[in-house]
Structure formats: C-alpha cells, structure tokens
Amino acid sequence: MDEVESPSLTEGQFVDDESLDDDEDWEDWCEDGNDVEEVLCLFCSEKFHSVEKLIHHLKEYHNFNLETVANRYGFDVYGRIKLINYIRLTHPLPNFWENISDSIPWESENFLKPVISDDLLLRYVIDMEDTFESGAIDADMEVVNHFTGYRKQDRIRTEAYMNFILNNPALFRDKIVLDVGCGTGILSMFAAKAGCRHVYAIDQSDIINYARDIVMENQLENKITLIKGKVEDVKLPIEKVDVIISEWMGYCLLFESMLDSVIFAREKWLTVDGQVYPNSCSLNAVAINDKIMHDKSIEFWDNVYGFKMSCLKSTVLDDADIAVVKSETIISDICCLKILDVSSVKVDELNFQCPISLKINQAGCITALVVYFDTFFSKTESFSTGPCAPATHWGQTIFHLRDRLNVEKGEQIFGQFSCMKNKENHRNLNVNIVLESSINKNTFKLQQVYYLR
C-alpha cells in the first residue's frame, strides 16, 4: 500500500460527522430527520433521540431508575432485557416493582424477545454490558485495566477478537484500521496495542461518548479517532484503510446485523489488498428434542401469573426465539446452511435460499430447528455460538415447530431454509422453513414462516 498522508484532523479528536463538512446542514444530512433513531419511553408516548435523555426522563417524570431496579434483583444483562421487554409488553405503573414480594413476573425466557424492533434501549443495555459487568480480565489486557470485567458469555467473543489481533501483530503493525460499529472502542484499543498506525472508529449511537472517555483514559487518543455517525454517511479524513474490523454479527447471524455497513465500508475504503476481520462466518442448523421448552413456549401464555394471554401463542410460534439450548437435546448431525466470505460477499447475497439435510442420530421427536453461527478470523482463530460451545450473548435462534415431528434414528430429513430481509425494515428477517421425510409411517411435510423482528 502507498504511504498514507497524515490526516488534516488532529489525531485522536472526537468527531461528529457533520464537523467533517462545515457546509453540510444537519437537516440535509439526516434527510429531514428521517434517519434519526428514536427510543420510546417505557411508561408514556414520549420519544427521545438518545438513551441518556430517556433515562433522565424516566428519573425526572416517572421516578423510575432502571439501575435501581436491576441492582435490587441483582440482574445481569439478560435480567435487564427481560425487565425492559416486560414493561413494554404489560404496561405497568412506574412503581410496579416496589410491590413485588415473591416471584418475579418477568423471569420467563419469553421476555428475552424484543417487543419493539431494534429497541435502542436494549442495544444500549447490551453495549454497556460489554464494558461494565463483572468477570475476570486477562492480565495482559492493560489497555482496559479500568474495566471491572466481562461476563463469561461475552468474554467468548471479546477474547476471540483480542487473541486474534494481539497474536497476529504483523497483520496490524503500521496499518490504517477502520472499526465499524466501534461501541465502547475495545476492538480499536486491541488494534492500537497490536501496533497499528491509526484507527478510525465509527459508531452512530451515544455509546461512542463513553468510548471517547475510555480512549482518553487509556492514553490512546493519538492512535484512535472516533467519528459519530452512520457508516454510509460519514466522511473519513483519509481515502483508504488497510484493515476493517467489526463485531457486526446479530442473532441468527443476520438479524439486526451491521454486515451491510461493513460491505459498504469495504467497497468504499478498503485497499485492493486489504483485509476484513472476521473474514468468514457459517450459519448452521441442528434439530432438537426439548419437550419442556416446547411446552413452556406455547402453554405458558395460558397462565401468566394468573392471567390468560393465549392470544400470544401464535406470536410465539411465528416469531423465532432466542435462548441457550442444552446440548443434550440435539438429535441430529449439523447442517451447514450458508458460508459468508466477508471479504467478497455482496448485499444481495444476504437474501438466500438453501437446502436442509439433517441426519437423525437419536429416535424421538423434533420440537424445533436451532440455528447458530460460527465466526472465523483465520484457520486457527474462531469461535462458535452453537449449543455445544460455551454460551455467548447471542445464544441460539430457535424455530419452534407447530407440531412435534416423530423421527427414527438414521432417518434423513430434507427441506429448505429461506432467509429474506423484511421489506419494511431491512434489519428484520423473514424465514421460511420446509421439512419433509418419507420413512415408514413418519411421512410428513411441514412448512412454517417465522419472523425475527
């Protein structure tokens, strides 16, 4: 790569995208405000352009402090997610939590499912969890020694990135790095520690304000420039980058993922011989037999702490579920549905249809199809979100079958898996699954449509 000239910006400064072009008007930049994300209050109809403003509003107008409630019950990130979704679904009064004495009404795994698509408050909770929850930190990570740690589930992915970057300094030394969706800036700091020349880190959410403080606290402001804005809209002070890093993966790999933005950045800024990390992902499926989960997911709504909510059964069946599956419930071999080469994949390839082939290795019944992904940085560096691997915050995506399917050991199940972006909200997914078999008396053909929203 040719020598890159030093940018005219002061290195390490925090940049709002509009500051890169003094002539660019805010209203023009966000197209009359249509691209500005909003977050809905938990207890009223007011909307805010940042989670921080929402939190202030909750305290001032509703006398509700999310952290106070979370700390009272010792919630981790999953507890916070359940609490938020419970409030959005049931619409309690702000002081509801003060009157709970016994069982917590939002304990069910069903409340892990977002009530509002792309809820900024949920994204904020997950982003903050990456930084501030308790757990051990590798002693070699002095660039983040002010953190109290990571929860075990989130250490899997973070340490995979850390190990790859720090164990392969030759890939980063003296390189210009772009961090897409930088969050708290942890990947940028790993790259800085690996010896890169400079990192440009982009994020459109308010979490970048914390990233700025974190970068300065670790005295990396001369190595990392933070830019607030959408990847598709920002202007970098340089023409090309050598490396793109990003933690873009979503549930079921592509739900609410940032892969579109990574592809955009790759096409616009990456040098011809540049690299994207992680460089590939595989989407995999297994069949499970978990009658307890199947019963709870469907029958639960007949008695929700004394109240009938049976109308929500169809929603449970239509919507894919997110949970950690017990490995002992797997009754089939693994079927690889799709492999994405991040260095070359095109946006239109993210809508796809592929065959399903599952060999049953244990007699019983199929209650759900479980989909997960594996992420690869190199031939030796990877991590899995599968049921047989240590749990991550992604869990697995569970497609509950309407009816249990009886199967025999050795039986081969065929079908199709179709994954399409929702036309109204491209961050959501429409999934169509067809399963069929014709062995002995177990002849069946099942077709079911699911939504990740």
DSSP conformational letter for 340: E
Cα separation, 410 vs 395, in Å, equals: 28
Which tokens hold the place of 255?
């739900």
Which tokens hold the place of 315?
């929603």
> What was the pLDDT predicted at 167?
95
pLDDT tens track for 357-382: 999 999 999 999 999 999 999 989 99
Contacts of 288 (CB under 8 A, 6+ apart): 325, 329, 330, 331, 366, 367, 368, 369, 370, 387, 398
- Average pLDDT across the chain, whole number: 84
- Tallying the residues shown for the chain, one arrives at 453
> What was the pLDDT predicted at 181?
94
Question: Is pLDDT of 395 > 60?
Answer: yes
The SS3 call for residue 30 is coil
> What was the pLDDT predicted at 356?
97
More confident residue, 25 or 424: 424
Cα separation, 213 vs 221, in Å, equals: 9
> What was the pLDDT predicted at 191?
98
pLDDT tens track for 286-319: 999 998 888 877 667 777 778 887 777 777 788 8
Cα separation, 344 vs 71, in Å, equals: 45
Per domain, the residue ranges of the chain are 39-128, 281-452
Asked whether 160 and 375 are in contact (CB, 8 A), the reply is yes
Question: Is pLDDT of 137 > 80?
Answer: no
Residue 14: pLDDT band (50, 70, 90) is low
Catalytic residue among 18, 109, 129, 256: 256
pLDDT tens track for 48-73: 888 888 988 898 888 898 888 887 77
| 256 is annotated as an active-site residue | yes
Which tokens hold the place of 309?
């909510």
The residues facing 368 across adjacent strands are 288, 400
Catalytic residue among 98, 247, 349, 424: 247
* Domain 281-452 in this protein, CATH class: mainly beta
More confident residue, 330 or 29: 330
Residue 34: pLDDT band (50, 70, 90) is very low
Neighbours of 200 (CB within 10 A): 24
Asked whether 112 and 82 are in contact (CB, 8 A), the reply is yes
More confident residue, 201 or 103: 201
Least reliable range by pLDDT among 41-55, 68-82, 172-186: 68-82
The SS3 call for residue 121 is helix
Average pLDDT over residues 122-150: 47
